[in-house]
Amino acid sequence: MQLIRRTGADRPALPGGCVATIGTFDGVHLGHQRIIAQVVEEARRRSLPALVFSFEPTPAEFFSRGKPPARLTRFREKFEALRGLAVDYLFSPPFDTAMERLEANEFIERLLVRTLGVQHLVVGDDFRFARQRSGDFDALRRGGEQWGFGVEQVGSVLLDDARVSSTEIRRALSSGELERARQLLGRYYRMTGRVVAGRKLGAQLGYPTANVNLHRRECAIGGIFAVRVCGLPEGSLDGVASLGSRPTVEGNGRPLLEVHIFDFNRRIYGEYISVEFVAKLRDEEQFPDLDSLTEQMHEDAARARAILAAA
């Protein structure tokens, strides 16, 4: 999959055109997967590339004015997920003041027609775009009639009579309902990042950890978890993880993911790993001393081993 960042209308990014979809696609959940499958199918039928159009930063982050909503997937994670769905191009221009001011007809002409050469567009049933979210499916349909591209709408995916959405996944994660999140995503919720050096306190307590650089300002999840670690030559590995601010050892307030991999002693600094959250064990809490913390770590590790053995 190739990444396109430019937005110039004078030089088409895809002169031959494409079949496309537009959205934030945070989490790339089952609803997103249905839309993208339709894009890929239509693109193959027309012998055109399949393209996903997704702003970076997202409009929600732009309008948050410094207090962004928690992302389910950061940009690299979303890129990898889309590549796994056979998407050919990710068009990801920055959302800025100029984008904010575009009216619906300007958005369609400048971005969909002149930049991307869209031949067919697939959107979800809740999609809105352009200035003050004034653009809707009818605006896209009129634009398609004017510029000669098709538009189709894909309905929401329902699970237990509830709509699959990024908002519902965030709610499930924040409530510790990891099995519910897994059902909505079609996979375990995961975070990826490069292993960095830490203070080595875990090793001193008998639990050496891989500290993962999250590149997030906010996390949708927090606490102590039974996890699986992927991405290493050794294959899938069981472990226990802490995601939070480490109140007992005076953390700096920024979320940190610390993973203890069971029965593993290789140094993996600099390696890129994926951490799958299988079950939540408990919330993060502050202990009166390191002995109390270590005793709780023994209990957490035992519970995580039992859960993962049965999963």
Q: Supply the mean pLDDT for the chain.
A: 92
Per-residue pLDDT of 167-201, as tens digits, reads 999 999 999 999 999 999 999 999 999 999 877 77
Name the strand (E) or helix (H) holding 291. Answer: helix 290-310
* Cα 293-297-301 angle, rounded to 5 deg: 175
Q: Please tell me the least confidently modeled range out of 64-73, 225-234, 290-299.
A: 64-73
Distances (CA, A) of 116 to 4, 15, 107, 221: 10, 7, 12, 36
pLDDT > 70? residue 285: yes
| Structure confidence at residue 51 (pLDDT) | 98
| Structure confidence at residue 267 (pLDDT) | 92
Greater confidence (12 vs 129) lies with 129
pLDDT > 60? residue 9: no
pLDDT > 80? residue 253: no
| Structure confidence at residue 63 (pLDDT) | 87
Q: What secondary structure letter does DSSP report for 69?
A: P
Contact of 242 with 285, CB cutoff 8 Å = no
| Structure confidence at residue 248 (pLDDT) | 54
Distances (CA, A) of 298 to 229, 272, 293: 19, 27, 9
- DSSP of 15-27: TT-EEEEES--TT
How many residues can be counted in the chain? 311
| Structure confidence at residue 221 (pLDDT) | 95
| Structure confidence at residue 7 (pLDDT) | 63
| Structure confidence at residue 249 (pLDDT) | 56
pLDDT > 70? residue 252: no
φ/ψ (deg, to 5) at 150:
-85, 155
Please give the structure tokens belonging to residue 94. Answer: 């920055």
| Structure confidence at residue 295 (pLDDT) | 92
User: Could you tell me which of 192, 217, 208, 218 has the C-alpha nearest to residue 275?
Assistant: 192
Domains of the chain: 2-159 (3.40.50.620), 188-310 (2.40.30.30)
| Structure confidence at residue 206 (pLDDT) | 79
Contact of 172 with 184, CB cutoff 8 Å = yes
| Structure confidence at residue 308 (pLDDT) | 98
Going by their DSSP bridges, the two strands 118-124 and 18-22 should be labelled as: parallel
Q: Please report, in angstroms and rounded to a whole number, the separation of the first and last CA atoms in the chain.
A: 33
Per-residue pLDDT of 65-123, as tens digits, reads 767 789 999 999 999 999 999 999 999 999 999 899 999 999 999 999 999 999 999 99
Three-state DSSP class for residue 43: helix
Strands across the sheet containing 150-154: 2-4, 89-91, 50-53, 18-22, 118-124, 150-154
Q: Please tell me the least confidently modeled range out of 107-111, 135-139, 194-198, 233-237.
A: 194-198
Kindly state the percentage of the chain with pLDDT values over 90: 76
Name the strand (E) or helix (H) holding 204. Answer: helix 201-204
Contact of 216 with 225, CB cutoff 8 Å = no
**CA-to-CA distance for 20 and 233, rounded, in angstroms?**
36
